[in-house]
Structures are given as structure tokens and as C-alpha cells.
Amino acid sequence: MNEIPRSFMKSSTRPSRFRIGCVLFFCVGALSASPVRPSDPGAPAPSATLGDLLAHARKSVDAFWNQFRSVTCVETVTQEKLGKQGKVEYRQRSSFDYLALLNIENNDLLVEESRLQQTSKDKPKNIPLLVTSGLPTLLLVFHPNYQEGFRYQLEGEEVAGGQKLVKIRFRHVPGARSTTALRLRNKNYPLEIQGIAWLDPETGTIHRIAAEIAAPMSDINLKRLEMDVSYAPCEFPEGIHWLPSAATVDVQTERQHWHNLHQYSHYKVFMVNTEDKISR
């Protein structure tokens, strides 16, 4: 995979100043209002249980956006370049003041990330690394405007942290609008992803979601791409919000192997007024 001369992110700042090998981002835009179907038109009607769960998930994702755009946090990003047998050849760690921005224009949902890098004593080296952005939005696969682009099926139950969660498998419908893309040589490649989400059957709250590309992409030499995002409860005066806690991405080509870890902490309520204050 060829290197890209400069980074691309849907954010106001770059996460680093060094050259990168490829860029993975979540492309959010052009979400025009449309009828929502839980599965593809040719598939049998979903069971009532699956339909109820998807309805709960839709409401949960809508609530997530209202909560996530109202907070700021610290995002710590660890970028690793791996060698043979997964051994770390180079590691770069950076921290940012992070804010997700949500705009709705003409029924389109537009999400951008604002990152302000905190002071770092480490001087980045000129080593190809993976730049990833927008990982908390992986749960968009359950957004009302995207559900028609995925097929869903129940995968049973699992107990995690003493709570019973329902697993839903999802798979991108070929040719449908994608939520995820890879930028290589200044060209965007939409990704067809598949995976599993763990959610509360009563509320639809997503506790964890994991995804991978449905098949290798030989045209851009992409062998494997895996993502895993976890969400955790955060207490605020107005109640409990389920917000991103950690996310990992693993990308492998014929010659390169990268692993990124994003950690989200120190959430605060984001308030905009005449003084532009950030307060708890």
C-alpha cells in the first residue's frame, strides 16, 4: 500500500504531523430522509423480536447523538506500527481535547470532530502510521437513515458485567450507502463491513460493537481491517449517558500492519454561551 503525503480527517485539526500509511474515517453526510427497512427488500419480514430490538436501537442511537454532541472529553490515541508476529516496531501516543460536532442541514446529518492537541514532550518520527477518526460513530449502522443498507439477524444472548445483552449481527448490503471509508492516494474507498453489536434488550443501548470488512480488497491491497468500540455509562447531573470509552482498529496489508487504540475520558458538559465556557 503506497503512503499518502498528507492526512485527511473530518476534524478541525490533525492528530499528528508525520506521514501516514493510510487513513480510516467514518464518512457521515448526505443522510436524506428515507423509509427505513430493517432488512433488504428481498428478505423475509423480520421477527417481532428483531423488529422491536431494531426499533430500540434506533431510539438509542438518536439519544446518543444528543448526548455525545453536548460533551467534551480527552481522547488519547496510541498508534502502533507492527512487524512480524505482531511485534511493535514503533509506538506514538498523543492526547487531544475532543469534541464531536453535529449539524443537520436539509435533512442531512453532518458530523465532524474537533481535536486540539495537548502539549507533548515526544517528537514524532517520520514513520508511516495509520490515522483513524470518527470511531464512536460505528453505531451508525443502526441509525434510521442507514438501516436500509444493512441486513440484521439475532445471534443469541451473552452476559457481560452481570447484565444480559442481546447480540445482533449486521452486514452491509452491497451497493448501499456506507458509513465507513478508507482514504488512499487522495481517493475514498467505501467499505462493506459486517459485525456484531451487544445491546441492552430493554433500552437498545449499545454496549459494544465490533466490525470488519466483509472481504479483502485486493484492488488496494487491504487484507484485513477490524474495529471494536466499547461504550460505558457516565454520570451527569441530568442523568446517565452511555458514551465511548475505548476503540481499537487493526489494519493489515501485504507489507504493513497497524494497530490504533483510542481512549476517551474526563467527560464534561460542553456549554456554549457568550464566554464560551466548558463546565461540568
The DSSP output letter for 211 is E
Is the Cβ–Cβ distance between 90 and 78 less than 8 Å? no
Closest CA to 206 of 191, 193, 196: 196
Q: What is the largest CA-CA distance in the chain?
A: 57
Is pLDDT at 208 greater than 90 in this prediction?
Answer: yes
Identify each DSSP E strand in the chain by its residue range: 20-26, 71-82, 88-105, 108-117, 129-133, 150-160, 163-172, 180-184, 187-190, 193-199, 206-213, 222-236, 239-253, 257-269
**Burial of 226 by CB count in 10 Å (0-12 exposed, 13-18 middle, 19+ buried)?**
middle
Read off the amino acid at residue 254. E
Closest CA to 23 of 189, 230, 221: 189
Which CATH fold would you assign to the domain 20-269? outer membrane lipoprotein receptor (LolB), chain A (2.50.20)
What percentage of the chain reaches a pLDDT higher than 70? 74
Confidence of residue 272 (pLDDT cuts 50, 70, 90): low
Where do the domains of the chain lie?
A: 20-269
State in Å, rounded, how far the first CA of the chain is from the last one: 44
Full-prediction pTM beyond 0.85?
no
Q: How far is the C-alpha of 245 from the C-alpha of 176, rounded, in Å?
A: 29
- 1 versus 112: which is more confidently predicted? 112
- Give the Å distances, CA to CA, from 3 to 60, 126, 224: 38, 12, 17
Q: Residue 105 — φ and ψ, nearest 5°?
A: -130, 120
Q: Are strands 88-105 and 206-213 parallel, antiparallel or unpaired?
A: unpaired
Give residue 100's pLDDT: 84
Closest CA to 226 of 176, 179, 191, 254: 191
Q: Model confidence over 124-183: pLDDT tens digits?
A: 677 888 888 888 889 989 988 788 899 999 999 999 988 999 999 999 999 888 888 888
Q: How far is the C-alpha of 136 from the C-alpha of 229, rounded, in Å?
A: 7
Q: How far is CA 64 from the centre of its chain?
A: 13
Is the Cβ–Cβ distance between 86 and 6 less than 8 Å? no
- Helices marked H in the chain — which ranges? 48-68
Q: Model confidence over 43-68: pLDDT tens digits?
A: 333 444 899 999 999 999 988 888 88
**Burial of 64 by CB count in 10 Å (0-12 exposed, 13-18 middle, 19+ buried)?**
buried
Give residue 201's pLDDT: 92
Closest CA to 135 of 85, 209, 193, 203: 209
